[in-house]
Amino acid sequence: MNSASTAGIAVVDGDPDGSDAPDVTVVVAVREDGRRCLGRCLDSLAGQTIGTTRIEVLVAGGTERSTADGARPPAVGVYGLPADGERRPSPAGAYGLPAQPLSAGRTDTLNQALAHARGRYVFFLDAGDFLGREALSRLVDAADSRGSDVVCAKTAASGAAIFARTRHGVPLDEPGLPWELSAAKLFRREPLLRHGLRFAEDVPAGLAEQAFTLEALFRSRGVAVLADYDYRFAGDAGPGPGRRSGPGARNSSAALAAAAGEPGGLEDLLRGTAAAMAVTARFTGGGPLGDGFHLRHFAHEGDVLTGPAFLRAPEPVRRRVFAGVRRLVADHLGDAVLAGLRPGLRLRFSYVRAGDEAGLVAVLRYEAGHGVPPLRTDLVSAAWRRTGPARHTLVVTARTPLPHLGAHGTGPVRLTGCPEAGRILLRPASDGAGTDIEVRIPAEAFPPGRTRIGLSTALLGTEHAAAVAAGTVPRQAHGLRGLRPYRLDVGPDGTDGLVVAVTPVGPRRAGRS
């Protein structure tokens, strides 16, 4: 590689796509929580065993806040890394890069850096992170030897199952792959240029990374997973456990929840999630491959979108976010995705699919006070009620902790045994923490003999049968069918349901009754 030196800075010359191009361009994003660690990050790049002449480093720096308080954030810069490791940043304009301040909090700085990258490969790194000494050499060698377009490298202390062993030609339906969507990977630059991949500029940085990485994966001719070395140390983790401030930390549940609680944060999260899911839908068109990635977003970002931040948001924001999440549910939440979610999330999305915003709010308020509502229904009583001189109706009462169930109509309550004959009434529980269910079934609906009946509540993927309370005693009544007397019994069937027995009796016994 030909290079010149100005003030000790190695300047990359030649055709960016030719033989003189560096092997890898490392784009370092300087965010608010990583500025103090930038020196350590650059030191790790200067010490790479691949050799400094094979590396180009672009630093996308500054913060959005810094321009508001009058401080001038650093512009995107090029760093040459001589053998002595001394960092001597050049004026940005000397290398054809824009000298005006650029915000590191926005992904357009990454796009600026990507546009000026010359390496055959691009690796994105946060200033708070640093690399193992052999990281870039191992990454480039792995990509060159197998022709991989995307190389996922193990982060120190990562317990992700996908990094259990090194593999090449990893299929996109690998179970752990949807959970590794940060841009802290090695990307072959030629496909990025050919397909015009860029970071979305109107969504949070972490979610813009997800959409970018998803498209790179779907367009890739080969994906590798390297687990044989600690390639990256995230945030302040160092060689041991500690705080994480890198791309993975930005997308952690705690970080997403904190960001969602900021003004506009919940809607930013919705836009970013929708953008990432749209990429998956565009390339997969549904099916098992797309379901694996959609599951990741519903289980992770969807949890935050329908969680406490939603409950605390102003009503206009809640209304807009609810409508947006409902579109995501309608477009991407299939049965396979649903089955992979934890029960509490399936319950929330039941209310979202039904368009019941008040019901979702009721569920979240219940969670705030009691935890996730138990997915159960309890049979409280079953008895005969006289409704005429010789007519009776079986009245079954039940209780479910699921709040606001009546807003869904009677559809969520199902009868077995004689569903066409029952009348279902739903009303809020007196304590406001659940729903009371009453089912009325005319005695005439039961044929002579024994009939097993059951009751269940069914929302989106949350069906569960009502259980008979311990100690429930049988109830008996007598009535007529035409001129013939019958004895009516109802009691537990020995499992979770009830059994109704309709038995003809003699006139004499009926008279005594």
- Give the domains, in start order, of the chain with CATH numbers: 3-249 (3.90.550.10), 253-370 (no CATH), 377-512 (2.60.40)
* Exposure class string for 267-293: b at 16+ Cβ within 10 A, else e: bbbbbbbbbbbebbeebbeeeebbbbb
pLDDT of residue 73: 36
Query: Is pLDDT above 50 for 8?
Result: no
User: Residue 267 phi/psi, 5° resolution?
Assistant: -70, -35
Alpha carbon 165 to its chain centroid, in Å, reads 25
Residue with more model confidence, 402 or 180 = 180
Average pLDDT, the chain: 80
Write out 268-327 in H/E/C secondary structure: HHHHHHHHHHHHHHHHHCCCHHHHHHHHHHHHCHHHHHCCHHHHHCCHHHHHHHHHHHHH
Residue with more model confidence, 6 or 68 = 68
CA distance 37 to 237: 12
Give pLDDT tens digits for 357-384: 988 998 898 888 888 877 678 888 889 9
Q: Which percentage of the chain shows pLDDT scores above 90?
A: 42
pLDDT of residue 63: 34
The two tokens of residue 438 are: 């009453």
CA distance 97 to 505: 98
Averaged pLDDT, 249-277: 86
CA distance 287 to 321: 26
**Cα-Cα-Cα-Cα dihedral sign, residues 441, 445, 448, 451:** negative
The two tokens of residue 409 are: 């109509």
Averaged pLDDT, 147-163: 93
Closest CA to 464 of 356, 302, 337, 347: 347
The two tokens of residue 9 are: 């800075």
pLDDT band, very low/low/confident/very high, at 233 (cuts 50, 70, 90) = very high
Tokens 């590689």 -> residue: 1
Closest CA to 93 of 6, 24, 193: 6
Reported for 191-195, long-range contacts at CB under 8 A and 24+ positions apart, including other chains, are 191/149, 191/216, 191/219, 191/220, 191/221, 192/114, 192/122, 192/216, 195/219
Q: 393 to each of 35, 206, 333, how far by Cα in Å?
A: 74, 60, 41
pLDDT of residue 33: 59
pLDDT band, very low/low/confident/very high, at 108 (cuts 50, 70, 90) = low
352 Cβ contact list (under 8 Å, min separation 6): 306, 322, 325, 326, 329, 360
Averaged pLDDT, 418-430: 80
The answer, as to whether pTM is greater than 0.85, is no
Give pLDDT tens digits for 272-329: 999 999 999 999 987 899 999 999 999 999 999 999 999 999 999 999 999 999 999 9
CA distance 129 to 127: 5
Query: Is pLDDT above 70 for 55?
Result: yes
Q: In terms of residues, how long is the chain?
A: 513
pLDDT of residue 1: 31
Alpha carbon 292 to its chain centroid, in Å, reads 11
pLDDT of residue 419: 64
Query: Is pLDDT above 90 for 399?
Result: no
pLDDT band, very low/low/confident/very high, at 68 (cuts 50, 70, 90) = very low
Question: How is 436-497 classified by DSSP, letter by letter?
Answer: EEEEEEEGGGSPSEEEEEEEEE--TT--EEEEEPTTPPPEEEEEEETTEEEEEEEEE-SSSS
Give pLDDT tens digits for 403-418: 777 777 667 788 888 7
Q: 389 to each of 6, 60, 266, 465, how far by Cα in Å?
A: 107, 86, 61, 34
The two tokens of residue 160 are: 């992700």
Query: Is pLDDT above 70 for 391?
Result: yes
**Of the candidate ranges 94-98, 176-180, 333-337, 365-369, the one whose mean pLDDT is the lowest:** 94-98
pLDDT band, very low/low/confident/very high, at 35 (cuts 50, 70, 90) = low
CB 26 within 8 A of CB 59: no
pLDDT of residue 456: 82
Give pLDDT tens digits for 188-206: 999 999 999 999 988 888 8
The two tokens of residue 432 are: 């406001």
8 Cβ contact list (under 8 Å, min separation 6): 80, 82, 86, 88
pLDDT of residue 162: 94
Query: Is pLDDT above 80 for 207?
Result: yes
pLDDT of residue 101: 28
Give pLDDT tens digits for 465-504: 787 877 778 888 888 777 788 889 998 887 778 899 999 8
Averaged pLDDT, 37-58: 91
Tokens 């030609």 -> residue: 169
Angle (CA) 184-185-190 rounded to 5° is 125
Query: Is pLDDT above 60 for 330?
Result: yes
pLDDT of residue 257: 83
Query: Is pLDDT above 50 for 232?
Result: yes
